[in-house]
Structure 1
């Protein structure tokens, strides 16, 4: 009798390119576009609060932590309703909290490292922010599309 394979998180090969159980009538290209628009708006919130925090004299990690929370909250609320058209779900919310915990560590940690290793030039803050934000964005889209917004 063949064994049933253990469930696993999707790998790049497993990621669905068609939206068989995702948002009704919203394909991958539309989701990527909406995710990017939402991400742009959320990045403005995030970066704006980050710069304000730095200007106010907050430590780098504190300023980035506050801005991350505001930016990701904005992103989740818009993505749930517009990008993935998902109804509220307690299980999905818990999964998002876990995902955002991981991306928080990745984004704040990467930003902190780059902030301290890059030379002191005008582009240091935006470059550190963009690299950290971009890394977290890719992680967020893949996990949200493949896992979180398929949770009922």
Structure 2
């Protein structure tokens, strides 16, 4: 069974904004891949590293995922311990399933993860906000 993480993309309005923020962080951090810093180290890191992804929740809905390619303990500039999640640079859109707010990250079992959105999917070419609205109404 594949294990994933999910995280709220706070202050992000859409996939383009997430992509821009990650490019800025990469340049600032001098790293080849995008990354996310979090306080807590996942205890189940080995399960996540065997094919898991980070699923981003934007405006209350799953929006996309990125493969997790590395998990490492780090020390922040102020001396606090943290965890760096190294991510695949590709943002893969997923079906817009509603998700209630939560703090930090949460584990997400493979069978509970939303399916990837393919170009053949009904609504794949629609703007994200319209796709989310139609999904909420059960029309997608």
TM-score band, normalised by the shorter chain? under 0.3
As a proportion of its length, which structure holds more helix? 1
TM-score if structure 1 supplies the norm length?
A: 0.24
TM-score if structure 2 supplies the norm length?
A: 0.25
